[in-house]
Amino acid sequence: MVIYANSNNDDSVKEIIVDLKGHYETFLGTYDTILGEFLGIIQRFTTLVRRYSGDNDAFSFLNGKFIGTNLKIILKYLKYSLGVDLYTVGVMLIVVGCSLALSVSSTIILIVIINIELKKNMDSRTGPNNGMVPESQPNYPQQVISYENN
C-alpha cells in the first residue's frame, strides 16, 4: 500500500495530494486578487468619507466610532443582565419563536374555517325558493282595497 501510495501513477495518493495542493494554491491566489480589488473599492469610499469626518466637525459621526462604543455598551449590559445564562436565553428565544409561528398558523386556519362556515350559511339562506327569504320584497307600502257587499 505504501509503494502504491508513493508511486507516480495518476491515481496514487501522492499525485492526488500534489494536484489538490496546486488547486488550493490557485484558489488562494484568486482569493488574494479579489480581496485586493475589494480593498481598492473600499478605500475609494473611505477616502471620500474621511474628508468630511473629522473629530469635532459637524459630520464627525461619519467616522463610525460611535458604533463601536455603542456595541461595547450593549455587550456590557448583556453580560451583566444575562450572566452565564446565555444558553437559557437562547432556548427561551427558540421556544418563543416556535410558539409565535404556531399561534400565527393556527389563527390563519381559524380564519379559513370561519370563512368556509360563513360561505355555507350565506349559500343556504339565499338558495332559490327555500321558504326562508322571499324572492322580491316591495319597498313601498301596499294599499289594501276592500269591497263592501251591498
Ordered by start, the domain boundaries in the chain are 1-63
Q: What is the mean pLDDT of residues 126-135?
A: 55
* Segment 6-16, tens digit of pLDDT: 777 777 777 88
Query: What cell does 5 get?
Result: 501510495
**Cα dihedral 16/19/23/29 (nearest 10):** 140
The one-letter code for the residue type at 105 is S
d(CA 110, CA 117): 11
| 41 Cα distance to chain centroid | 29
| CA distance to 2, 93, 94, 96, per residue, from 102 (Å) | 59, 14, 12, 10
Q: Which pLDDT tens digit goes with each residue over 51-91?
A: 666 666 655 666 666 777 888 888 788 777 776 677 777 78
What is the structure's pLDDT at 92?
82
pTM: 0.33
